[in-house]
Amino acid sequence: MDSSISLAGQAHQAVAALLGTPAAWDEPIASRLRFHGEPPVFDSPHLLTLSAGAAIGAYALAIERWWHLATGQRQTVAIDWMQAACSLNPGHFQKQSGYVLPALSLLTELKADFYQTADQRWFFPIGSYPHLRDGVLDLLQCPNNAASLGAAIGRWNSHDLEEAFAAHKLPGAYARSREEWLAHPQGRLLASRPVIEIQKIDDSAPEPARAANRPLEYLRVLDLGHVIAGPVVARTLAEHGADVLRVTSPFMQDPFRQTIDTNIGKRSAFLDLDRAVDCQRARELIAGADVVVQSWRPGSMARRGFGPGEAAAIRPGVVYVSVTAYGDEGPWATRGGFEQLGQTVSGVAVREGGAGRPRVVPPYLLNDYLTGYLGAAGAMLALIRRAREGGSYHVKVSLARTSMWVQELGGEPAFDDDPRRPRRHFAEALAPTLEVRQSAYGPLEQLPPVAQLSLTPPRWDLPPAPNGAHPPAWRSN
């Protein structure tokens, strides 16, 4: 990307590339999307603020386009650079009753970090749930502390350990440079695919865009995702009035900090998709949905009868959004993964570390929220196609492809990558505006919606609900 143009100009270029050819939009993007404020600079070689502004701008313009199709009215979109930058990890600023919540559970999480292998590579294991933590510790035959994990991983070669993790369905990978990842079969495959991939998977009658007071008030979104990226897709659509129902298993609930962040604007219900009666209820919910979002390991939903093809058969015209770690095709198609592994395999972590030990980006999170915003943009683009030509659509986004996209945006030309230089904490330059809402958890301070539309300001009508607080049913309207 041309670094000689302004940051806003770079963001407009990135948004145009995400949304497709100019022929799909009837006027220059810059006339509808405006950035303001002072862009914060992260202690990173990557253009993190730019990536946040572009991803959010893409879905906001798609929302504006939907509003125009439905009402004939036009809006402008305004994005504050500070708010956009903070959206990479909004949980860091979140408070409950005045207290910041811890990012990790010290009782359940694996001591995830980069550990050196016998062949001098760096391996990142993840155990975000007890069964994953215990699986990693059983495989490595060590207790859950950094010294023991380092010693155990140091006895393995990187490739053998990565394959052993995959064989045991455990998330972990060794760090690669960008060049190494692009030479890898999975990296080559992802590089050949768009950042937001949209496939028409079946025919159906067109369903015209409708709106009266808010852009998405007539749309229903079934959120079958977990942890962060998938639920962020649905939460983003809830900003603009969509009726969003979150469905999760009572036996596999997200950590508390993620729940009160990603459940904003939604109702939340329990279903156990290993029970036949609950599967039938899920089919009834899909039959009434416009958008279905899921972020489980590829193949997991299809084995239960809820893959994209099955959803399209249940509900012709559905837009099905899949969030994966590495895509759903290729040699790594069945591998699960989490946020930091997208950074690890794609070259982001190696570049962040410079000549030293790899490290993740300063906000710690990169792919989860960006991928959620990109998935929301994809859902809207597919809904626009459905309004014009009909059809059911499969929208695909992945954590690793998002990390690749961030690198494609270019780098900070003046970044000092001396590994001996102390790194500033990512929040030192950040001071977001927060909003306070009352909830079942008491008063919550949280980042508000970032993209502001001029006629229909976004908002979440519902505070985050406890998991399972609502029945698994659509509202009567």
Per-residue model confidence as pLDDT tens digits over 298-310 = 999 999 999 999 9
Least confident of 5-14, 121-130, 224-233, 414-423: 414-423
Say if residue 416's pLDDT is above 90. Answer: no
Instruction: Say what the pLDDT of residue 104 is.
Output: 62
Alpha-carbon gap, residue 336 to 14, rounded angstroms: 28
Report the 10 Å Cβ neighbour count for 27. Answer: 9
pLDDT, residue 23, reads 42
Burial class (CB in 10 A: 0-12, 13-18, 19+), 131: exposed
The H or E element containing residue 323 is strand 319-324
Higher pLDDT, 4 or 446: 446
The arithmetic mean of pLDDT across residues 370-377, rounded, is: 98
Band of residue 21 on the pLDDT scale cut at 50, 70, 90: low
- Please report the pLDDT score of residue 426 as a whole number: 82
Which residue intervals of 390-471 are DSSP H helices?
Answer: 399-408
Strand spans (E) along 56-178:
77-80, 95-96, 99-100, 115-116, 122-125, 172-174
pTM: 0.96
With a cut of 50, say whether residue 333 has pLDDT above it: yes
Output the six-digit token pair for 85.
């930058």
What pLDDT is recorded for position 308? 98
How far apart CA 191 and CA 136 sit, in angstroms, is 30
